[in-house]
Amino acid sequence: MEVLTTMRRMQVKSYLKLSIAVAVVTIALKTAAWWWTDSISLAADAMESLVNLAGAMFALAMVTIAARPPDADHPFGHHKAEYFSSGFEGVLILAAAIGIVWTAVLRLLHPQPVESIEVGVALAVISSALNGGLAFAMMRKAREHRSVALEADARHLYTDVWTSVGVVAGLIGVALTGWQWLDPLLALLVAANIMREGVHLIWRSSAGLMDEALDAESQHTIETVLARFAHPSRRFDHIFTRSAGQRRYVDLHMHMPANCSLGEAAAMRGAVEQALMDALPGLRASIQLLPTDREAAEVSP
């Protein structure tokens, strides 16, 4: 299990390193497009890619911290570090959106012509193709490895792709109509779109740090496993779940007959814990044994 976990972390780090490399390339392409055209919407697009770079670098740092083993100060490990990455990227996105709004309003008040639109569109399309391919691959790995940091970076890349699509459409509109105000108006729409994604990432991060319960599908899987071990003389209650980065946890009470030997009860508990962990890879199950006619003094986790 630990070898598999280490391999997953290495794959997550590899994708984040690739994200950093792609961010550098797209920043260069979009900055060149901005310089060539003097388009404020392309400038906004380039600013978002700069946020991509900072977010990917921070995510890599947090994933590295999350991989550290438990120590005296953190006996339950460092898995929640990934949530800081998601929240940090959300804050960066909001900061970029505010900067885009400010610049776009100034351009609306003082319009300037957009030049060499064909070059800008071509560079934006190339950068979008790079981000789109990487985002698709990263999202698949994020779901496979339940990496919050990788998912946050993939979501931001998807936002960047749609931003570029909108920018390209707007620049084509400027070229066809000559309406220069379309460029800053499009930048404002870009800002609204990435601001929405930033709020989503911050919310996701705060939910994880607050020990949010597992998703409905995972909880249903746990209930299905426990139902297999249910018996008139054996019952389960006080089931609590939570997630911490790539780790998932379930704590529950298993009531056994009072005349059952300690060895028999321990063996049954071990079988239930193993069945739960087999059904949900990455799950950590903790079961408290109690007599059938007794309740624990403290029922809250």
pLDDT of residue 212: 73
> Which class is 216-291 in CATH?
alpha beta
pLDDT of residue 187: 73
For the chain, what are the domain ranges?
Answer: 2-209, 216-291
What tokens were used for 28? Answer: 């260069």
pLDDT of residue 299: 45
Task: Tell whether pTM > 0.75.
Answer: no
Is domain 2-209 classified as CATH 1.10.1040.10?
no
pLDDT of residue 271: 92
Phi, psi of 294 (to 5 degrees): -120, 150
Q: Over the chain, what HEC string results?
A: CHHHHHHHHHHHHHHHHHHHHHHHHHHHHHHHHHHHHCCHHHHHHHHHHHHHHHHHHHHHHHHHHHCCCCCCCCCCCCCCHHHHHHHHHHHHHHHHHHHHHHHHHHHHHCCCCCCCHHHHHHHHHHHHHHHHHHHHHHHHHHHHHCCHHHHHHHHHHHHHHHHHHHHHHHHHHHHHHCCCCHHHHHHHHHHHHHHHHHHHHHHHHHHHHCCCCCCHHHHHHHHHHHHHHCECCEEEEEEEEEEECCEEEEEEEEEECCCCCHHHHHHHHHHHHHHHHHHCCCEEEEEEEEECCCCCCCCCC
- The per-residue pLDDT for range 64-91, each reduced to its tens digit, is 777 777 777 777 667 667 677 677 777 8
- The per-residue pLDDT for range 163-217, each reduced to its tens digit, is 777 777 777 877 777 777 777 787 787 778 778 877 877 877 776 667 677 878 8
Residues of the chain below pLDDT 50: 1-4, 299-301
